[in-house]
Chain A
Amino acid sequence: MASFEACELFSSDLGHEMVDKILSDIRKLVPENITRLLPAEELDPAVLFLLQQVQDTMTKDDNICISCYIDTATPYRSYAEALKAVEGVLEVTWEELNTGHWSKVPPGPRQLYTAAAIVKIEALLRSCQKEHADRTELLHTAVKTADLGILLGAPLTNGDFSMTRVAGLLSDALSALSSGSGPQEEVSQPSGSTESSSVVIDNIPGVRGLVLNSLDRPSLERFRASHFGPRIPVKLTGCITHWPALILWTDINYLKKVAGARTVPIELGDHYVHPTWSQKLMTVGEFIEAHIVAQMDENTPIGYLAQHPLFEQVPELMSDISEPEYCCLSDSLDDNAVTEETDINAWFGPKGTVSPLHYDPKHNLLAQVIGEKRILLYHPNESENLYPHEGSFLNNTAQVNPEEPDYKTFPNYKNSVAWECHLKQGEMLYIPPKWWHHVRSLSTSFSVSFWWK
């Protein structure tokens, strides 16, 4: 992918030229007859008809002057109408994706969502070429459309179209545009970075635990024998000190530059079992402004970019970290067992984010890139002392809150044994499968989790 750092040297015209180049590159990636790439038998013919009609209409007027284009024989007289029609396809497919459990949504509708997002981006890029077009706004909409395509859609089976690549190119075009039109908005923080000063930990309310063991760069074999095999949590030091992220991400403007325009899901509210908890889509830039650098008061809801596969969405950030070697360990004795890819998730938020006491089914390495977190851990055998929620939702989440223990309602909780870990920048925590954990950020914090089987 091209780098546009040099663009600041160019005049505004050259910035626009650069943008034109990127936009024409993207348009070359857009497949023709897009609905042919979709599983027609699984999808509503009305939706496919509408989507193809929009694309055909746009393709037809390739050689016609847009501004003077009037042809009553074609269904759409303007890109605005084409956009409206393709948005209808996105909306109706979104409704389909929200029907039934997300994990059971078949690939057909998700591919349809991707295809419709492509056509919408195509329409937006064509609008960019009109005179007096607000290119910045159109490109922001296009990046958002691409990100929603990544978040909700699925790759098309035929063809080598990559939404991740398109989103990256659009984000580059936006950078080129803004560097061509003047200095980028920089966030200045009191400390000038996301790096936190030392944190006072004694005033965390509630229970405390036994101090968790720590190992410095254990060999693969030692880690397997003493922790992975017997499923015992441990803090690992010295394992990620070589990650460029430890330096790069302390500069919040770096994160804004690389991912600022990208749309991500943000959790708002105390934590995911709190009644006022909700999820909102916003750009990384908006999130940083509103929840990381903003002056917080008690009425500001805490925002948390939690459990999000950011590194799939923005591969550029993946080069700042690396998957720990320990993730190649497997419970299976069979060497030929099919190993699934490790799930890599980002956890980025201000001081005070909480993940309530819960467990996950996979092995977990939690790497602390920025700031500090406090983690309480309980052995899987403690489940009956922790009162898991009943029903099909939240049955991996405990009703007890270690920070406000209610021994009247949950009397067995006092029998439980907690382990405690303060995870600092550059450290990593191994959480075995089914181990209960409660996580609180003690400062602005960016963690990366690696889940594997």
Chain B
Amino acid sequence: MKLFYCGFNEFGQCPSASSSTVSHLIEFPLSDVEGACVSWSCVAVLTGSGVYVSGFVGGLTRQLKRLTIPNTQQVLQVSCSRGHMLVLLASGECWRYSNKSDSWRRIDHFMRVERELTHKDNGIDPVVSVCCGVTFDVALSKSGCAFVVPSPIYYPGVRVTQVACGSEHCLLLTETGQVFSWGTGSRGQLGHGDLESEQEFARQVDSLAGLHVTVVAAGSWHSAAVTECGDLYAWGWNHSGQLGFCTGENRVKAKLGQAAGPKKLKTENTDEVTILNVPLPVVWPLEQEVNVVDVSCGSRHTIVLLDDNTVWGCGWNAYGQLGISPEHVQCTWMMMKMELPDSSSGIVLGVECGAWSTAVFLA
């Protein structure tokens, strides 16, 4: 598949664009893309011909380099954050690459914790998925055990099938479609109806319990989930409108400018969301019916793929991460449609947000 990029480009994360802001999707100059992960300052791309990293790498800006993988093994998955990258090998080994020192280190110590707990397959329970965060990394083992590396945060009662990592919280999705959350809850990002943190074990998001969730995503301080019925739920901090709920920003500006009438202010007031500590379904403009299939969260934005092959976004757009010119829209809480590139066949296979940018995979 092909990889397209928009958003923050101060470090040349997207080597085919020269400006620091990319406000429409541009094709990434690599072919045969199998997966990618985007961070604030770099992009890691898994292709048929190896793993590449672009942007700020090894103390230098505007890099595009092919990484030499330890043991020259086949790579299953890459995940990256600002400072490091995790690479999952076919053997089940997990390696950590440091951007700063340009060096590799094998992560195995969390495996031991895991073996003590599970004892499955004679103690072999390989990691099948990794997710780099800002303050911690999350890993998922074959038996469905979730880790905040290196400690387990979920025991396999029901298998975990997907993990997502925010800047200080993470989400787990089980094979029965249930959502669990762990970490800091100060901005409602855990969805438990309060602002408390969960530091021991992941706790189920009760208000989603009656639904079957298919995808979870975590932004810096917000969370999103897609249900089997194609609905999008969001919760957490609505700082820039990333939840898709009214931020009330316009009200405050109008107030300072003494422009809007008082009655209108009051009705708007009741719809405003600053922090949402329980998941609520997101409504599209004009209340149009939509079927959501995939979601990804950036630091302060949310990108959604619908079953009609359209891509939508809300939240912060200062760097064009919604695929819209920031001169027109600095941020939006109303879902806006992203223009897809003409050159592609048009079939969107997935979306993947970086901190301030968005990657779209096209067939």
A→B interface (CB under 8 Å)? 44-47, 49-50, 53, 81, 84-85, 88, 91-92, 95, 98-101, 268, 276, 278, 280, 282, 286, 290, 297, 299-301, 391-393
A99 touching B220 in the complex, CB below 8 Å, given contacts A391-B194, A391-B196: yes
B236 to chain A, nearest CB (A): 12
List chain B residues, Cβ under 8 A from A46.
Answer: 11, 40-42, 56, 61, 82, 99
Selected A-B contacts with CB under 8 Å, 13 pairs: A44-B83, A45-B56, A45-B59, A45-B99, A49-B56, A50-B10, A88-B319, A95-B299, A95-B300, A98-B221, A99-B135, A391-B195, A393-B195
Tell yes or no: B146 within 8 A of A by CB.
Answer: no
Tell yes or no: B265 within 8 A of A by CB.
Answer: yes
Q: Which residue of B lies closest to A391 (CB)?
A: B196
> Among B83, B99, B220, B272, which residue has its beta carbon within 8 angstroms of that of A95?
B220
Contact, CB under 8 Å: A100 / B262: no
List chain B residues, Cβ under 8 A from A92.
Answer: 40, 355
A49-B61, A290-B255 are known contacts; what are 17 more A-B pairs with Cβ within 8 Å?
A44-B82, A45-B99, A46-B41, A46-B42, A53-B61, A88-B10, A92-B40, A99-B134, A99-B220, A276-B272, A278-B274, A280-B252, A286-B256, A290-B256, A299-B262, A299-B265, A391-B194
Tell yes or no: B266 within 8 A of A by CB.
Answer: yes
Contact, CB under 8 Å: A100 / B135: yes
A49 to chain B, nearest CB (A): 6
Contact, CB under 8 Å: B318 / A276: no
> Among B20, B83, B256, B318, which residue has its beta carbon within 8 angstroms of that of A81?
B20
CA distance A159 to B319 in the complex (A): 34
List chain A residues, Cβ under 8 A from B20.
Answer: 81, 84-85, 88
List chain B residues, Cβ under 8 A from A278.
Answer: 248, 274
CA distance A44 to B84 in the complex (A): 11
- Size range of the chain B interface in the assembly: 35 or more
CA distance A95 to B21 in the complex (A): 19
A271 to chain B, nearest CB (A): 16
List chain B residues, Cβ under 8 A from A392.
Answer: 196
CA distance A297 to B83 in the complex (A): 52
Tell yes or no: B309 within 8 A of A by CB.
Answer: no
List chain A residues, Cβ under 8 A from B11.
Answer: 46, 50
> Among A85, A99, A276, which residue has its beta carbon within 8 angstroms of that of B167?
A99
Contact, CB under 8 Å: B318 / A91: yes
CA distance A280 to B255 in the complex (A): 12
A32 to chain B, nearest CB (A): 21
B217 to chain A, nearest CB (A): 18
Question: Which applies to chain B's interface (DSSP): helix, strand, loop or mixed?
Answer: loop
List chain B residues, Cβ under 8 A from A301.
Answer: 255
B330 to chain A, nearest CB (A): 12
Q: Which residue of B lies closest to A92 (CB)?
A: B40
CA distance A81 to B319 in the complex (A): 12
List chain A residues, Cβ under 8 A from B332.
Answer: none
B239 to chain A, nearest CB (A): 9
B362 to chain A, nearest CB (A): 28
> Among A100, A297, A391, A393, which residue has its beta carbon within 8 angstroms of that of B184?
A100
CA distance A282 to B255 in the complex (A): 12
List chain A residues, Cβ under 8 A from B274.
Answer: 278
Tell yes or no: B47 within 8 A of A by CB.
Answer: no
CA distance A47 to B61 in the complex (A): 11
Tell yes or no: B8 within 8 A of A by CB.
Answer: yes
CA distance A46 to B43 in the complex (A): 13
B294 to chain A, nearest CB (A): 25
Tell yes or no: B186 within 8 A of A by CB.
Answer: yes
Interface set, chain B 214-253, CB cutoff 8 A to A: 220-221, 248, 252
Q: Which residue of B lies closest to A48 (CB)?
A: B59
Mark B115-154 against chain A: 1 for CB-CB distance below 8 A, else 0. Answer: 0000000000000000000110000000000000000000
List chain B residues, Cβ under 8 A from A393.
Answer: 195
List chain B residues, Cβ under 8 A from A100.
Answer: 135, 168, 184
CA distance A278 to B252 in the complex (A): 11
Contact, CB under 8 Å: B10 / A85: yes
Tell yes or no: B100 within 8 A of A by CB.
Answer: yes
CA distance A88 to B21 in the complex (A): 11
Tell yes or no: B91 within 8 A of A by CB.
Answer: no
List chain B residues, Cβ under 8 A from A99.
Answer: 134-135, 167-168, 220
List chain B residues, Cβ under 8 A from A286.
Answer: 256
Tell yes or no: B269 within 8 A of A by CB.
Answer: yes
B24 to chain A, nearest CB (A): 18
List chain A residues, Cβ under 8 A from B196.
Answer: 391-392
List chain A residues, Cβ under 8 A from B100.
Answer: 45
CA distance A100 to B10 in the complex (A): 26
CA distance A268 to B274 in the complex (A): 13
Q: Which residue of A lies closest to B56 (CB)?
A: A46
CA distance A393 to B185 in the complex (A): 12
CA distance A287 to B265 in the complex (A): 18
List chain A residues, Cβ under 8 A from B56.
Answer: 45-46, 49
CA distance A99 to B221 in the complex (A): 9
List chain A residues, Cβ under 8 A from B194.
Answer: 391
List chain A residues, Cβ under 8 A from B252.
Answer: 268, 280
B133 to chain A, nearest CB (A): 10
Q: Which residue of B lies closest to A393 (CB)?
A: B195
A397 to chain B, nearest CB (A): 14
List chain A residues, Cβ under 8 A from B40.
Answer: 46, 92
Interface set, chain B 1-23, CB cutoff 8 A to A: 8, 10-11, 20-21
Contact, CB under 8 Å: A299 / B10: no
List chain A residues, Cβ under 8 A from B42.
Answer: 46
Mark B254-287 against chain A: 1 for CB-CB distance below 8 A, else 0. Answer: 0110000011011001001010000000000000
